[in-house]
Structure 1
Amino acid sequence: MEHSFLSSTSRQAMGPVTDSEIMNTLRSKFPGAKIINVEDTSGGCGAMFNVSIETSEFKGLTIMKQHRLVYDVLKDQIKNIHGLHLETRAPK
């Protein structure tokens, strides 16, 4: 599945990153995910987020590789936020 991402210049012109933007990006990349939770922990200004994902796509991958997949998917949003806390896991 191919995804198009906005350039960081276009991204900045749109305003702060939102939890729904991150959620939509993750749902498009991990459509079979059992759990995707995104919480803006910066009080709504889009600077810090907690993200939790449980998907079978992480099965057999180390935590580092799971996180790398998420970072790659969110690369444009990450350029515009200060912090991202990830919890990733494969279903048991």
Structure 2
Amino acid sequence: MISPQQVEATIKEKLPNAQVKVVGDGEHFEAVIVSADFEGKTRVKQHQMVYATLNEAMASEAIHALSLKTYTPNAWQAVSQV
């Protein structure tokens, strides 16, 4: 079983400039990632970038389900002011 902190650390390792918050129960996780690396990329491409950081955990089925919310810094600022 993998912890939310381990998932968070893995994402931060591959996307070092990202702000990451992960919650979960050891199999099902929800992650919010804010990164300037997402600028100019579609939501699908942003999610692919995050999934790529977790490829090993996903392939081994340590992570059964992952819900992602990805934002650029500007988009996050707009959302968090609502």
- Corresponding residue for 2:23? 39
Q: Which amino acid aligns with 2:17?
A: G
Q: Which aligned segments of 4 or more residues in structure 1 are displaced greater than 2 angstroms?
A: none
Which is helix-richer, 1 or 2?
A: 2
Q: How does 1:35-74 map to 2 (within 5 A)?
A: 35-40=19-24, 42=25, 46-74=26-54
Q: What TM-score, normalized by structure 1, do the two folds share? A: 0.73
Alignment partner of 1:21 is 2:21: no
| Consecutive unaligned residues in structure 1, runs of 5 or more | 1-15
- Quote the RMSD (CA, aligned, Å): 1.0
Q: Which amino acid aligns with 2:35?
A: T
- Separation (CA, whole Å) in 1 of partners of 2:13 and 2:32: 15
- Corresponding residue for 2:67? 85
SS class of match (2:32): strand
| Consecutive unaligned residues in structure 2, runs of 5 or more | 75-82
Rg larger for? 1
Equivalent residues, number: 72
| Residue 81 (structure 1) shift | 2.1
